[in-house]
């Protein structure tokens, strides 16, 4: 499944369900997390070399939107 299609399906789901399904690569590199000014959090999922998905998550842990970061996401 293309990465964009997979990410589109994840919007609206719990970030914690996604983290629970972490691949060996994701576990090795590790997820990161940071706060943004609107009060939401961003979880950074390492997908593969030079590709991360930044998931914006509300206070209840549900995915609102995402952005791809890195040249390897194409």
Q: How confident is the model at residue 74 (pLDDT cuts 50, 70, 90)?
A: confident
3-class secondary-structure state, position 6: helix
User: 22-71, pLDDT tens digit by residue?
Assistant: 999 999 999 999 999 999 999 999 999 999 999 999 999 999 999 999 99
Q: What are phi and psi of 67, to 5 degrees?
A: -140, 145
**In the predicted structure, residue 1 carries a pLDDT above the cut 90:** no
pTM reported for the whole predicted model: 0.93
């Amino acid at each position: 499944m293309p990465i964009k299609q997979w990410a589109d399906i994840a919007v609206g789901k719990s970030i914690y369900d996604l983290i629970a399904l972490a691949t060996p690569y994701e576990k090795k590199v590790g997820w990161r997390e940071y706060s943004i000014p609107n009060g939401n959090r961003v979880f950074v999922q390492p997908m593969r070399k030079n590709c991360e998905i930044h998931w914006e998550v509300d206070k209840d842990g549900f995915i609102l939107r995402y952005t791809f970061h890195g040249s390897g996401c194409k």
